[in-house]
Structure 1
């Protein structure tokens, strides 16, 4: 059976996209019911479900969110060879997530944002390179 290109397998469950998994991790392991709703939601409804349950979000989320994104991306690239090959083909070039509307995950309107997504991709890329070298 061929896995859909966006599906991420994590802890025995299938998530339709990496974003679904990232949002669900805000509620795992303490609220698996909310995580399941997020996992099963259409992409356009997923964020609203997460926001509706924000009071139940893990209290340490702000401290672990970047590590969780690294974990999500690692699972994605480990499970999808084509995406992994594209990421590895970037060598050791700096990666910029170009998103004019997001200066946290992306470069923002002037590409001077925090670029946390680009840096997470760089960390995952290095982890994959290190694993290949072993």
Structure 2
């Protein structure tokens, strides 16, 4: 039997698809990455799943981050990049790090989490979230905590006048 994880009760919790949470992937914070402008981190992430230009364009032009999520997660959709599972964490990290560096309010929201564990609360996605049984990988939370550590390290370097 698994034991209840008390650290989840004290964690900073959010949903990836919450349009009001600055740490979600669907907030309207456009950024430039790889020569294109992306309306949200979710637009970038979902577009990178596919290889067919028409699929990429459909996702890129979608109205919102939630729409991009829905388009990229159609179960019947063909044409995904063959190595997507190996690349997905890198793609999400790129999108979220770029979002943080482009928007001071997102950086502040991330730093305001202090040393709290960051948890994506999806009950249905045990990779990005904690899953229904709270034993998911919480990869979204892990990425945010890694970015937070990087941002803090950059702040310390700047404060001490050390060039990177």
- Is TM more than 0.5 here? yes
Larger RCO: 1 or 2 (CA < 8 Å, sep 6+): 2
Match of 2:121 among 84, 93, 98: 98
Note the C-alpha offset of 1:61.
Answer: 0.8
More off after superposition, 100-109 vs 14-23: 100-109
Aligned CA RMSD, in angstroms, stands at 2.4
Instruction: Confirm whether residue 127 of structure 1 aligns to residue 150 of structure 2.
Output: yes
Query: What CA deviation, in whole Å up to 9, does each residue of 1:79-125 have, x standing for no partner?
Result: 11111111012233221111223222111224322111111111111
Name the structure where helix makes up a greater proportion of residues: 1
Note the C-alpha offset of 1:34.
Answer: 2.9
Please say if residues 118 and 142 of structure 2, whose CA atoms lie closer than 8 Å, have aligned partners that are also in contact. yes
Pairing of 1:21-40 with structure 2 (within 5 A):
21-27=44-50, 31-40=52-61
Instruction: Confirm whether residue 62 of structure 1 aligns to residue 85 of structure 2.
Output: yes
Match of 1:46 among 54, 59, 68: 68
What TM-score comes out, normalization by structure 2 length?
A: 0.67
Instruction: Confirm whether residue 86 of structure 1 aligns to residue 120 of structure 2.
Output: no
Question: Which structure has the larger Rg?
Answer: 2
CA 1:99–1:68: 2 relative to 1, 3 Å? same
The gaps in structure 2 that reach 5 residues or longer are 1-26, 158-164
Pairing of 1:2-13 with structure 2 (within 5 A):
5-13=28-36
Quote the residue 2:138 is aligned against.
Answer: 115
What TM-score comes out, normalization by structure 1 length?
A: 0.79
CA 1:83–1:45: 2 relative to 1, 3 Å? closer
After superposing on structure 2, the runs of 4+ consecutive aligned residues of structure 1 that deviate more than 6 Å are none
* CA distance in structure 1 between the aligned counterparts of 2:155 and 2:111, rounded to whole angstroms: 11
